[in-house]
């Protein structure tokens, strides 16, 4: 049973959904008449409450997916499929600190705050004040603007406002390569990084930036969801699907020592060696052969 102050998803028989906080004397005015808060507060989750015109509306306790979709948006928001995967890959959770830029409408921020719990922390950056205000309002409405969220206003061109030691970072900005230089200051060595970009041109520019280091373990992927019509005797995929929301790019904040590279290169196949050779040439690095023949001293060999 929702208590006053809680959030509730209200669904109509026509499939419309709304996210509302249960507040005394704040009845909902719908196209089917008034839905009284007093009735909501006395109903069970999963039950139906009638509007003044006798139309049944359902009450659900919101899932994270419901919350994210309940966000008022002035920007493109992330989809649940991408949100879940990003949080899993970044290790967002209790005890972890994550940086996000830009905040946008706050849909991913909501998820980060949700999964972080009271012992994790989210630093979210937004350059445009109107977006930050919108996101703050959204998070507040969702009950996720807790002490585990710090909202930073300002461009990240100068860095991440003194934040240090983050375990993970997510950039959803047009030119993420422009901000790579500030990541080592803000994140732990080895931190997990993720980026979302719509076009392959942007992906290429980001990959070029990541190649300059100190980054490694770069991955690029797309996540596609294909819905099916859930009809018992005519089971089949939906006719249409969303074909593209964006490319996801993952990496680690990671120096690559020559010693590491020497051993890594040894395990490559013929074609990968060729690609590596061409990459080194493009970057102006010494050729593969030099790497393999050189005397390379690890930083702590004397210990072993």
CB of 136 to its own copies, least distance (A): 21
Q: Please give the Cα distance from 144 to 79 (Å, whole number).
A: 18
CA dist 47 → 1, 4, 36, 43 (Å): 9, 17, 14, 6
x/- map, 16-55, its own copies, by CB under 8 A: -----------------x--x--x----xxxxxxxxx-xx
Query: Near its own copies by CB under 8 A, which window of 23-31, 130-138, 171-179, 188-196?
Result: 188-196
User: Which residues within the stretch 87-106 sit at the binding site for its own copies (CB under 8 A)?
Assistant: 87-94
CB of 99 to its own copies, least distance (A): 15
CB of 101 to its own copies, least distance (A): 19
> Residue 257 has which token pair?
């020592």
> For residues 72 and 83, is the Cβ–Cβ distance under 8 A?
no
x/- map, 239-278, its own copies, by CB under 8 A: xxxxxx--x-x--xxxx-x-xxxxxx-xx-------x--x
CA neighbor of 253 nearest in space, from 173, 168, 175 = 168
Query: If residue 270 lies in a helix (H) or strand (E), which one and from where to where?
Result: helix 270-283
User: Which residues within the stretch 202-231 sit at the binding site for its own copies (CB under 8 A)?
Assistant: 203-204, 207-208, 211, 218-231
Asked whether position 15 contacts its own copies by CB under 8 A, the answer is yes
Choose which of 83, 135, 136, 288 interacts with its own copies (CB under 8 A). Answer: 83
* Parallel/antiparallel/unpaired status of strands 247-253 and 97-101: unpaired
Q: How many residues line the site for its own copies (CB under 8 A)?
A: 117
> For residues 188 and 242, is the Cβ–Cβ distance under 8 A?
no
Q: Please give the Cα distance from 222 to 239 (Å, whole number).
A: 20
CB of 71 to its own copies, least distance (A): 14
Asked whether position 72 contacts its own copies by CB under 8 A, the answer is no
Closer of 126 and 261 to its own copies (Cβ): 261
CB of 103 to its own copies, least distance (A): 19
User: Which residues within the stretch 104-163 sit at the binding site for its own copies (CB under 8 A)?
Assistant: 111, 114-115, 117-119
CB of 111 to its own copies, least distance (A): 7
Q: Please give the Cα distance from 216 to 41 (Å, whole number).
A: 52
Choose which of 112, 192, 288, 291 interacts with its own copies (CB under 8 A). Answer: 192
Closer of 158 and 240 to its own copies (Cβ): 240
- E runs forming strands in 7-120: 7-11, 17-21, 28-30, 33-35, 48-50, 56-60, 97-101
CA neighbor of 179 nearest in space, from 101, 78, 89 = 101
Choose which of 10, 68, 169, 186 interacts with its own copies (CB under 8 A). Answer: 68
Q: Please give the Cα distance from 96 to 165 (Å, whole number).
A: 10
Choose which of 22, 168, 171, 196 interacts with its own copies (CB under 8 A). Answer: 168
Q: Please give the Cα distance from 203 to 82 (Å, whole number).
A: 17
């Amino acid at each position: 049973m929702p208590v006053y102050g809680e959030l509730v998803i209200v669904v109509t028989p026509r499939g419309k959904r709304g996210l509302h906080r249960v507040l005394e004397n704040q009845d909902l005015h719908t196209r089917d008449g008034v839905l009284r808060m007093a009735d909501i507060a006395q109903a069970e989750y999963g039950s139906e409450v009638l509007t003044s015109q006798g139309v049944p509306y359902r009450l659900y306790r919101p899932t994270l997916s419901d919350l994210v979709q309940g966000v008022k948006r002035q920007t493109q928001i992330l989809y649940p499929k991408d949100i879940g995967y990003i949080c899993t890959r970044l290790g967002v959770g209790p005890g972890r600190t994550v940086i996000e830029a830009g905040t946008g409408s706050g849909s991913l921020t909501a998820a980060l705050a949700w999964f972080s719990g009271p012992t994790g922390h989210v630093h979210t950056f937004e350059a445009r004040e109107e977006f930050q205000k919108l996101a703050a309002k959204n998070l507040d409405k969702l009950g996720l603007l807790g002490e585990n969220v710090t909202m930073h206003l300002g461009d990240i061109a100068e860095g991440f406002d003194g934040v240090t030691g983050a375990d993970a970072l997510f950039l959803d900005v047009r030119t993420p390569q422009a901000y790579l230089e500030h990541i080592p200051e803000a994140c732990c060595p080895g931190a997990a990084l993720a980026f979302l970009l719509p076009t392959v041109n942007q992906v290429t520019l980001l990959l070029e930036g990541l190649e300059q280091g100190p980054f490694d373990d770069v991955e690029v992927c797309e996540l596609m969801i294909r819905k099916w019509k859930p009809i018992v005797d005519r089971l089949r995929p939906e006719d249409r699907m969303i074909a593209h929301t964006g490319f996801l790019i993952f990496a680690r904040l990671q120096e690559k020592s020559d010693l590491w590279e020497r051993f890594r290169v040894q395990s490559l196949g013929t074609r990968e060696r060729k690609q590596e050779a061409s990459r080194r040439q493009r970057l102006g690095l010494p050729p593969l052969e030099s790497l393999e023949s050189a005397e390379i001293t690890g930083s702590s060999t004397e210990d072993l």
